[in-house]
A = this chain, B = another copy of it.
Amino acid sequence: MLSIGDFARLGHVSPRMLRHYDDVGLLRPERVDNATGYRSYTVAQLGRLHRVLALRDLGFGLEQIGAVLDDDPPLEQLSGMLRLRRAELAQGLVEDEDRLRRVEAHLRALEGSTQMQTHNIVLKNTDPARVAETIGTAPGFGHQHLGPVFQRLVPKVLAHLERTGARPGIMIAWYEEPADDGSVVVHAGFDIANQAVDDGADVHVTELPEVFVASVMYHGAMEDIEGVYVTLVQWIEDSGYHLAGRSRELYHVWDDDDPTRSVTEIQMPIAK
């Protein structure tokens, strides 16, 4: 008979672990002294300890280990558990590899040392939105091209919504792929939630689908937003994703008086 300390040394575990395994019924001492509570183990119990350690090393929880050791499940069930564990591990590996790539993308973004705080990029599924929008064409990207187009489009939508008695929600814009000459079709409109709004002459109600995006919150005036786009696109590429759709801008805070207080969310659909 071995004391808990001797048995622990023999099995390369801590006495505390053995007490814990006793508590949860995973490995009971061969006997326990009535008066002192001292635990005694036999060398033969090393076998059971070994099985516990082996299964723990594979990542099983103590409860599952207890089930395996005590219920002596049939081979198929055992291999089923191992297969499940294998799948979990493989899944975890994929996730951690992706995470590692994202860390590396942030490192590279830091080197670029753009003013923007790069640690601001979140991956998520957008919530779908119903928008009343209208369409215009700009000669290209960039604030100097897009600004005037918005000036023209936004009042149209607002007027239409006022006519139909609907309250505009958040303002949203999205961009089609640029044509060969660089010109861009711009969609600008407002979220209308589930309010009933008829289509107008130029204004249409449409549904923006749920998509997986990389999203950045940008605080500041629209003139300076281009650097954010550059950083974001680079980050997406660095972290192993690629663009997979039309990007959107959500104007969470639109401050005409002080544009630097604006809060704009850029969403770029991506896929692996």
Contact = CB atoms under 8 A, between A and B. Distances in A.
Interface in A89-130: 89-90, 92-93, 96-97, 99-100, 102-104, 106-107, 110-111, 113, 117, 119-124, 127
A271 interface: no
Given A75-B113, A263-B43, A57 B219 contact: no
Contact of A106 (B9, B44, B82, B99): B82
Interface in A41-98: 43-44, 46-47, 50-51, 53-55, 57-59, 68, 75, 78-79, 82-83, 85-86, 89-90, 92-93, 96-97
Contacts of A10: 252
B120 A47 contact: yes
A228 interface: no
Interface of A is mostly: helix
Interface string A18-47: 000000000000000000000000011011
Given A99-B57, A102-B58, A117-B51, A46 B107 contact: no
Nearest to A252: B43
Interface residues of A, number: 56
Given A59-B99, A96-B93, A44 B119 contact: no
Given A51-B117, A124-B12, A89 B85 contact: no
A96 B58 CA distance: 9
Contacts of A97: 93
A119 B57 CA distance: 10
A4 to B, nearest CB: 17
A202 to B, nearest CB: 29
Contacts of A93: 93, 96-97, 100
A261 B42 CA distance: 12
A89 B83 contact: no
Given A47-B120, A50-B216, A51-B117, 10 more contacts: A10-B252, A50-B120, A54-B119, A78-B110, A79-B107, A79-B110, A82-B110, A89-B100, A92-B96, A93-B93
